[in-house]
Structure 1
Amino acid sequence: MGVKAWLSKPLAAYVHRKHQAWIQNPVAAQQAVFDKIIKKAQHTAFGREHRFSEIKTHADFVKAVPVRDYEGLADYFNRVKEGESDILWPGKPLYLAKTSGTTSGAKYIPITKDSIPNHINGAKDALLSYIHETGNASFLDGKLIFLSGSPVLEQVGGINTGRLSGIVNHHVPGYLRTNQLPSYETNCIEDWETKLDEIIEETIEQDMTLISGIPPWVQMYFDKLIRQTGKPIKDIFPNFSLFVYGGVNFEPYRKKLFESIGKEVDSVETFPASEGFFAYQNEQHDKGLLLLLNAGIFYEFIPAGEYFNENPTRLTIGEVEPNVNYALVISSNAGLWAYSIGDTVKFTSVKPYKVIVSGRIKHFISAFGEHVIGEEVEKAMQRTMEKYPTVELVEFSVAPYVSQDQGQSYHEWLVEFSNPPSDLDAFGKELNMQLQKLNTYYDDLITGHILQDLQIKPLPMGTFRNYMKSQGKLGGQNKVPRLSNDRKLAEGLIETAGILNANS
């Protein structure tokens, strides 16, 4: 055992003991965060305008501060971008995390001196928690790869600005720097495919022990390695023992990833975002993610069915229940106030508080009143693939097809298979039945002949990759929406598939 692995074990035990204080007193931990951030921000522009000095309770906060998303707080974010101080949090942010995906274009999320430890410690503690639980620390003696965005930063309003993963790259602890791959120069390459080729060149002969990244981009890395060597990942990297991931539901990718690896390895799921590092998996046998309640973030939870109401119910941690879909709302020491991050979560446990990410509040299909969410389509696909174990997929997305003729509308599943089912019709019928079991509204529409059974549109290999590339969203932290309530993404994928077929 190397020095790093040996030293990590007492540190892991210390961090575990330290966390027990807030894990065992979750409501008090959240109250302490609430009191601290409200007091510190009361003299900011936002704090003065929303009378923070008069806020004593959560009920006061609900009356003073409405729930808003990025667009709703855009005036404040724009003032921060222009270099003004004391707008959402005292002083200026250390960084602006630039991310895409809103109707107004790029988002610029502040990361402050007070909030940066949340991002760094969240990732560090996820690894230490794994070490404490399993005793496996040997991965720290090998090479670690974090497939991430470029660490190159630009100046916006005098503030260093870049992708979150690139910002965090500047804060990797010194003791891990010598283990970290790829090199800084390679990490700065913007074009994903060029970058991936360089990453392979740098890693193929190394002793890779930990690999981290969003699953579809890790799969691309694995695919290129296997094509280049003719070997499974376990033979290329025999000491690879830990896969760390986040950002998307792992289940649709699990089978193909582990087949590429050629053996089972431990995995740790995390829940990071530009707005904060919210949770991580702290037990191998439990897929629930431990919600971090003492890390400068105050959480509110809106029952998903009420989200678009004028005055939705806003629950605190002590009021939530297991297996209810909640929209996640945060206030934090980054200067985000009653901010809807767009994700929905379900609690798998309340002792301690653990969540799974169930979808996106705006990513749903309800063209016919069915309100199908991401968790349901992913679970339907997962259960169907369990019944068809030879089927492998690369990616999929679902969109409504609305017909002018009564009873002729349906959900269209655009699926890129790496190993398609031998009987696509039977696979589709099973998939449709699984979705009916998961969503009673969808079941009613099918049995009432308002909707036809879903239809699967197989896409040629490379469709999703080429579509994402055409949108400037290939690699890094970018994700394909699992479903949407309109045809924009679907038509883009179909157009890309047509181009690939024409060129084949």
Structure 2
Amino acid sequence: MGIKAALSKPFAAYMHQRNQAWMQQPALAQQKIFNNLIQKGQQTKFGHDHFFKNIRTHADFTQAVPVRDYEGLAPYLEKVKKGEPDVVWPGKPIYFAKTSGTTSGTKYIPITADSISNHINGARDALLAYVHQTGKSTFLDGKLIFLSGSPELDEVSGIKTGRLSGIANHHVPAYLRRNQLPSYQTNCIEDWEEKLDAIIAETINQRMTLISGIPPWVQMYFDKITARTGKKIKDVFPDFSLFVYGGVNFEPYRAKLMESIGKSIDSIELFPASEGFFAYQNEQDDPGMLLLLNSGIFYEFIPAAEYYNENPRRLPISEVETGINYALVVSSNAGLWSYSIGDTVKFTSINPYKVIVSGRIKHFISAFGEHVIGEEVEKALRNAMQKFKEVEVVEFTVAPYVSQTASKSYHEWLVAFAKPPQDLAAFSQELDKQLRALNVYYDDLIVGNILTPLQLTALPPDAFQRYMKDLGKLGGQNKVPRLSNDRTIAEALLRVKI
């Protein structure tokens, strides 16, 4: 065992003990963060405009500060972009995390000197929690790969600007820097396919022990290695023992990834975003992710069913329940205030508080009143695949088809299979059965002959990759929505298929 692996164990034990303090008093931890945020926020234009000096309680806060998304906060963030100080947080941010928006175009999320530790320490603590729980630490002595965006940064009004993963690359701890791959030069390559070839050249003869990235892009890395060597990943990287991922639900990719690897390995799920690092999986036998309640972020939770109401409830951590979908709203020491990040979460435990990401609040199908959400389509696919063991899925999305004639409307599933079902019609029927079991409104529409059972369109294995390449979003942290309420993505994918 090397020195890094050996020293990580007492450090992991120390961090575990330190985390117990806030885990045992979660409401108090959140109250302390709330008080600090309000105190600091009083020094800002946003705090002045929203009468922070009069805020004492969460109820005061909900009255003074409405829930906003990026577009709603944009008038303030535009001032920050122009270099004005003390707008949403004292001083100026040290970075802008640049991320693709939808209606807003490119978004510029501030990262401050106070908030940068949230992004960096979250990933560190996830690895230390794994070391403490499992006793496994030798992966720290090998090579670690982080498939990420370019670390090259631009400047906006003198503030360094780039992708979050590229910013984080500048803050990899010194003790891990020597183990890190790919090289800085390779990470700066913008073209994803060219970059992937360079990453393989740098890693294929190395002792890789940890690989991290968004599952579909890691799968591309594995596929290219196998195509080049004719070997399973376990035979190319015999010491590879830990897969770290985030950004999308792993389950639709698990079977193909593990088949590519050729053996089962441990994995850690993270919940990072440009707006903050929110949670990580701290136990191997529990898919729930520990919500970080002491890391500069104050959380509010809106029941997803109430999100579009005029005055939805905004619940603090002490009032949430398990099994309910909540829209996640954050206020942070990055200068975000009651900011709706767009994700929905569901609590799997409240002692300690653990979540799974259940979908996106704007990603749903309700063309006929069914309100099918991401969690439901992912679970329906997973359940169907358990009955059709041969099936491996590369990627998928779902869209409504609204008939303009007497024929019925339906949901169209566009699925890129690595290994298709032997009986596509039977698999489609099972998929429809599973979705009907998960969503009573969808079932009612089928029973009432308003919808016909879903139509499954099989796409080539590389269809989604070609679609993302056409958009200029191949690789990095980019991903395709699981479902949408129109056919924009579906029609583009069908054109790729031709």
TM-score, normalised via structure 1 length:
0.98
Q: Alignment partner of 2:101: what SS?
A: strand
Equivalent in the alignment of 1:502: none
Q: Alignment partner of 2:30: what SS?
A: helix
- Output aligned runs, 1:272-283, within 5 Å: 272-283=272-283
Letter in 1 for 2:192: W
Q: 1:462: Cα distance to partner?
A: 1.3
Q: Alignment partner of 1:341: what SS?
A: strand
Q: Provide the C-alpha distance between the structure 1 equivalents of 2:58 and 2:104, rounded to a whole number of angstroms.
A: 31
Letter in 1 for 2:267: S
Q: Is 2:344 aligned against 1:348?
A: no
Equivalent in the alignment of 2:124: 124
Equivalent in the alignment of 2:334: 334
Please tell me whether the aligned partners of residues 271 and 277 of structure 2 are also in contact (alpha carbons under 8 angstroms).
yes
Please tell me whether the aligned partners of residues 358 and 374 of structure 1 are also in contact (alpha carbons under 8 angstroms).
yes
User: Any idea what the Cα deviations from partners look like across 1:62-120, whole Å, max 9, x if unmatched?
Assistant: 00000000000111111111111000000000100000032120000000000000000
Letter in 2 for 1:403: S
Please tell me whether the aligned partners of residues 300 and 329 of structure 2 are also in contact (alpha carbons under 8 angstroms).
yes
Q: Alignment partner of 2:12: what SS?
A: helix
Equivalent in the alignment of 2:147: 147
Equivalent in the alignment of 2:288: 288
Structure 1: gaps (5+ residues) = 499-504
Equivalent in the alignment of 2:250: 250
Please tell me whether the aligned partners of residues 407 and 452 of structure 1 are also in contact (alpha carbons under 8 angstroms).
no
Please tell me whether the aligned partners of residues 406 and 450 of structure 1 are also in contact (alpha carbons under 8 angstroms).
no
Q: 1:197: Cα distance to partner?
A: 0.1
Q: Is 2:460 aligned against 1:490?
A: no
Q: Is 2:478 aligned against 1:478?
A: yes
Q: Provide the C-alpha distance between the structure 2 equivalents of 1:207 and 1:400, rounded to a whole number of angstroms.
A: 46
Q: Provide the C-alpha distance between the structure 1 equivalents of 2:34 and 2:14, rounded to a whole number of angstroms.
A: 26
Equivalent in the alignment of 1:417: 417
Structure 2: gaps (5+ residues) = none
Equivalent in the alignment of 1:239: 239
Q: Provide the C-alpha distance between the structure 2 equivalents of 1:304 and 1:411, rounded to a whole number of angstroms.
A: 22
- Output aligned runs, 1:106-121, within 5 Å: 106-121=106-121
Equivalent in the alignment of 1:466: 466
Q: Provide the C-alpha distance between the structure 2 equivalents of 1:412 and 1:273, rounded to a whole number of angstroms.
A: 29
Letter in 1 for 2:58: H
User: Any idea what the Cα deviations from partners look like across 1:194-233, whole Å, max 9, x if unmatched?
Assistant: 0000000000000000000000000000000001001100
Q: Alignment partner of 1:30: what SS?
A: helix
Q: 1:424: Cα distance to partner?
A: 0.7
Q: Provide the C-alpha distance between the structure 2 equivalents of 1:407 and 1:26, rounded to a whole number of angstroms.
A: 54
Q: Is 2:62 aligned against 1:101?
A: no
Q: Alignment partner of 1:382: what SS?
A: helix
Please tell me whether the aligned partners of residues 70 and 104 of structure 2 are also in contact (alpha carbons under 8 angstroms).
no
Q: Provide the C-alpha distance between the structure 2 equivalents of 1:253 and 1:2, rounded to a whole number of angstroms.
A: 33
Equivalent in the alignment of 1:299: 299
Letter in 1 for 2:231: K
Equivalent in the alignment of 1:21: 21
Equivalent in the alignment of 2:54: 54
Q: Provide the C-alpha distance between the structure 2 equivalents of 1:473 and 1:267, rounded to a whole number of angstroms.
A: 26
Q: Provide the C-alpha distance between the structure 2 equivalents of 1:285 and 1:400, rounded to a whole number of angstroms.
A: 36
Equivalent in the alignment of 1:42: 42
Equivalent in the alignment of 2:202: 202
Q: Provide the C-alpha distance between the structure 2 equivalents of 1:248 and 1:217, rounded to a whole number of angstroms.
A: 11
Letter in 2 for 1:123: A
Letter in 2 for 1:381: L
Q: Is 2:191 aligned against 1:164?
A: no
Please tell me whether the aligned partners of residues 407 and 449 of structure 1 are also in contact (alpha carbons under 8 angstroms).
no
Q: 1:407: Cα distance to partner?
A: 5.9
**TM-align CA RMSD:** 0.6
Q: Aligned pairs, how many?
A: 498
Q: Provide the C-alpha distance between the structure 1 equivalents of 2:10 and 2:406, rounded to a whole number of angstroms.
A: 66
Equivalent in the alignment of 1:225: 225
Q: 1:497: Cα distance to partner?
A: 1.1
Q: 1:422: Cα distance to partner?
A: 1.4
Q: 1:165: Cα distance to partner?
A: 0.1
Q: Provide the C-alpha distance between the structure 2 equivalents of 1:215 and 1:474, rounded to a whole number of angstroms.
A: 13
Q: Provide the C-alpha distance between the structure 2 equivalents of 1:185 and 1:336, rounded to a whole number of angstroms.
A: 33
User: Any idea what the Cα deviations from partners look like across 1:392-431, whole Å, max 9, x if unmatched?
Assistant: 1110000000002356100000011111111111000000
Equivalent in the alignment of 1:372: 372
- In structure 2, the CA distance between the partners of 1:406 and 1:20, relative to structure 1 (3 Å rule), is farther
Please tell me whether the aligned partners of residues 407 and 451 of structure 1 are also in contact (alpha carbons under 8 angstroms).
no
Identity score, percent: 72
Please tell me whether the aligned partners of residues 365 and 484 of structure 2 are also in contact (alpha carbons under 8 angstroms).
yes
Q: Provide the C-alpha distance between the structure 1 equivalents of 2:469 and 2:47, rounded to a whole number of angstroms.
A: 41
User: Any idea what the Cα deviations from partners look like across 1:436-482, whole Å, max 9, x if unmatched?
Assistant: 00000000001111100000011122110010011111101111100
TM-score, normalised via structure 2 length:
0.99
Letter in 1 for 2:296: G
Q: Alignment partner of 1:102: what SS?
A: coil
Where has structure 1 moved over 6 Å in runs of 4 or more? none
Q: Alignment partner of 1:457: what SS?
A: strand
Q: Provide the C-alpha distance between the structure 1 equivalents of 2:310 and 2:153, rounded to a whole number of angstroms.
A: 39
Letter in 1 for 2:42: Q
Q: 1:489: Cα distance to partner?
A: 0.5
Q: Provide the C-alpha distance between the structure 1 equivalents of 2:76 and 2:200, rounded to a whole number of angstroms.
A: 42
Please tell me whether the aligned partners of residues 323 and 347 of structure 2 are also in contact (alpha carbons under 8 angstroms).
yes
